[in-house]
Amino acid sequence: MQKTVQIKCIRRVNNWKPRESISHVGGGTLANRWTLELGEVIQKIESGECLFFVHVDGDPLAVEIAVDREGKKYIKTVADSDLPADLLSLPDCP
């Protein structure tokens, strides 16, 4: 059974390429926080284990895998064009 998981925050790396600037995503509650490395998130999406989403203006948007021109995988919402703007607008994970 596929688990639905809300992403509420991200961890950034110092990178001038927006597609490569997210290293981790996270969520949960104050008492039960979690974070996953980007590679883990991609693996869980590809395997069908998890469906990740974010809330943007109150609406849930699915997170999907995209591939840049160099063949590197990254994540973005279905509403984003090339860049993960919706994810990059999330606060930093503690």
- Residue count of the chain, please give it: 94
Query: pLDDT per residue over 22-72, tens digit each?
Result: 999 999 988 899 999 999 999 999 999 999 999 999 999 999 999 999 999
pTM beyond 0.85, yes or no = yes
H helices within 1-94, ranges in order? 38-47, 85-88
Query: pLDDT per residue over 73-93, tens digit each?
Result: 999 999 999 889 999 999 999
Cα separation of 14 and 26, whole Å?
18
Cα atoms in the Cβ-side hemisphere of radius 13 Å centred on 30: 0
Cα separation of 13 and 5, whole Å?
23
Q: What are the boundaries of each domain within the chain? A: 3-88
Backbone angles phi, psi at 28, to 5 degrees: 90, -165
The answer to whether the beta carbons of residues 69 and 59 sit under 8 Å apart is no
